[in-house]
Amino acid sequence: MTTLFTNARALNESKKSMLVDMLDSVFDSLDLTKTQRERIESAYNAVGDYLASCDDPLLDGVQIYPQGSMRLRTTNKPLSQEEFDVDLILFLPNAGSATRDKIVSVVKQHLLDSKVYKELVEDLPRGFRINYKGDYHLDITPAKSYDLESLPGHPLWVVDKSMGFKESNPEGMAKNFDEVCSMLPIIRRPQVFLEALNSKSVTALPDQSKKKPLNRIIQILKRHRDVWSQFNSNPHADFKPISVVITTLACRAYLEVIETGKQYDNEFDLILDVIELMPHHIESGFDGILIANPAMRPENYAEKWNRSEKQEGQKYTRAFYAWYQAAIDTFEYLASENIRGMDSVFAALSGAFGEKPVLAAQDRIVEAVNVSRDNNKLGVGLGTGAVIASIAGKANSETTGLHDVVPVKRNQFYGD
């Protein structure tokens, strides 16, 4: 593979591990909390129950379920001025012969009949938004059964303002994602930065409630896209790549890496490989550019890239590659700042992912460093400058690959 990451790949293993742990700590603070998830689930369950209570036979037996980032566990807390975007499918099993206008009319009227929802309803090209202003909103897409139900997942016709109906299969896409996500890379994992600070010699089994590598990689890329698009005078902001494009390309690149059987010394190189391979999975043919739903090929997530009016398609294409180059530049910059020290890395992370989550991660890491220093378990690896746990003046060579460690003396500011 011809690398796009000269500086990042040249880092030693300790510095790569440190960057992975810094990123993981940043994105821990960007995950939805249990309370937030429960509130959102309660809200969409309430909407589903209400819609199911309608006397119109069209809504008999309706089902509502999440799609997109909530379903895939790749949701990030939004930037300061934005709201959580929760995408939902409203499946109408008895709407087989109904037109798009009929479905939209019945669903909207029932929402308007509610004292709770009538002031919150907004029209969307593919359904409705229930807007809990200043907090989160539910985007509800009504759908009916697709002709070929033998496809994996839950193939659907979803309402569409311009086309009437469009093919979609979010559950099929999600099941494919889950399958790929469960495929874990082979990582000859040395003792990583935060584990070393806590002087753990045995790594516990992974917590299944935590994110898999693919979940986390996509969170990183999506957050980077969000911050990048808000840079001052960004000419590509209105055409930034949508989440499902980033998710699909990253998923395919990750699968390619897994299928090669490549082994890694750290997760950092895995992230770089996935980013580098993403454009390889953009298809181009007679009908234009295609990034297809793996469970329903007619569903093209890059359909806007093929629009000719006002050169809209070219603008979406250019915006993707502008963001993609910015992502490469970010990881190269993180690598170069790593040489300058942790403060420089935190500053670079703030520029790429936002100040608030990085400050929270910085506080956590600094606290861990101070605890290890107070316990005389902090050292600096000779030749690398990496901060690691020291045990009786020596590092564990099986986990860090270092033999010579200089202990960092405990600060006693009150004097002794």
Examine the fold and report which residue of 144, 167, 190 is the final residue of a domain before the chain moves on: 167
pLDDT at 389: 42
Q: Side-chain half-sphere of 150: how many Cα atoms within 13 Å?
A: 1
Does residue 199 form part of some domain? yes
Same structural domain, 59 and 186: no
Distance CA 306, CA 283 (A): 12
Same structural domain, 288 and 307: yes
Same structural domain, 188 and 161: no
- The CA radius of gyration of the chain, in Å to the nearest whole number, is 24
Same structural domain, 75 and 125: yes
Does residue 416 form part of some domain? no
pLDDT at 210: 62
Domain range for 38? 34-167
Contact 167, 179 (CB under 8 A): no
Examine the fold and report which residue of 133, 167, 201 is the final residue of a domain before the chain moves on: 167
Contact 368, 43 (CB under 8 A): no
Does residue 216 form part of some domain? yes
Same structural domain, 377 and 319: no
Nearest CA to 304 out of 242, 262, 381, 259 is that of 242
Strand duo 283-285 + 186-187: pairing:
unpaired
Tell me the two tokens of residue 17.
């591990």
Contact 181, 211 (CB under 8 A): no
Does residue 146 form part of some domain? yes
Same structural domain, 225 and 125: no
Same structural domain, 318 and 190: yes
Its sign, for the CA torsion 246, 221, 251, 319, is positive
Same structural domain, 196 and 342: yes
Same structural domain, 237 and 358: yes
Which residues, other chains included, contact 95 with Cβ-Cβ below 8 Å and sequence gap of 6+?
Answer: 58, 103, 142, 144
Tell me if the pTM is above 0.75: yes
Q: For position 153, which CATH number holds?
A: 3.30.460.10
Distance CA 219, CA 30 (A): 9
Tell me which amino acid residue 382 is: L
Does residue 82 form part of some domain? yes
Distance CA 405, CA 322 (A): 43
Classified as helix, coil or strand, 217 is helix
Distance CA 76, CA 140 (A): 20
Nearest CA to 111 out of 169, 165, 64 is that of 64
Distance CA 158, CA 293 (A): 15
Q: How many residues does the chain have?
A: 416
Same structural domain, 188 and 132: no
pLDDT at 395: 37
Does residue 157 form part of some domain? yes
Q: What is the pLDDT along the chain (416 residues), one digit of tens a residue?
A: 567 899 999 999 989 988 998 999 999 989 888 888 888 889 989 999 999 999 999 999 999 999 999 999 999 988 876 788 899 999 999 999 999 999 999 999 999 999 999 999 999 999 999 998 767 899 999 999 998 768 899 999 999 999 999 999 999 999 999 999 999 998 886 545 445 444 433 333 333 346 799 999 999 999 999 999 999 889 999 999 999 999 999 999 999 999 999 999 989 999 999 999 999 999 998 889 999 999 999 999 999 999 999 999 999 999 999 999 999 999 999 999 988 888 999 999 999 999 999 999 998 888 877 776 666 654 443 333 344 343 333 333 333 333 343 343 443 333 33
Same structural domain, 329 and 287: yes
pLDDT at 93: 94
Nearest CA to 410 out of 385, 381, 375, 382 is that of 375
Contact 276, 1 (CB under 8 A): yes
Contact 21, 193 (CB under 8 A): yes
Work out the number of other CB atoms within 10 angstroms of the CB of residue 18. 25
Query: What is the number of structural domains in the chain?
Result: 3
Which residues, other chains included, contact 320 with Cβ-Cβ below 8 Å and sequence gap of 6+?
Answer: 241, 245, 305
Same structural domain, 342 and 311: yes
**Distance of alpha carbon 329 from its chain centroid, rounded?**
19
Contact 250, 214 (CB under 8 A): yes
Examine the fold and report which residue of 120, 137, 167 is the final residue of a domain before the chain moves on: 167
pLDDT at 342: 85
pLDDT at 46: 92
Strand partners, 65: 89
Which run of H or of E encompasses 237? none
Contact 372, 389 (CB under 8 A): yes
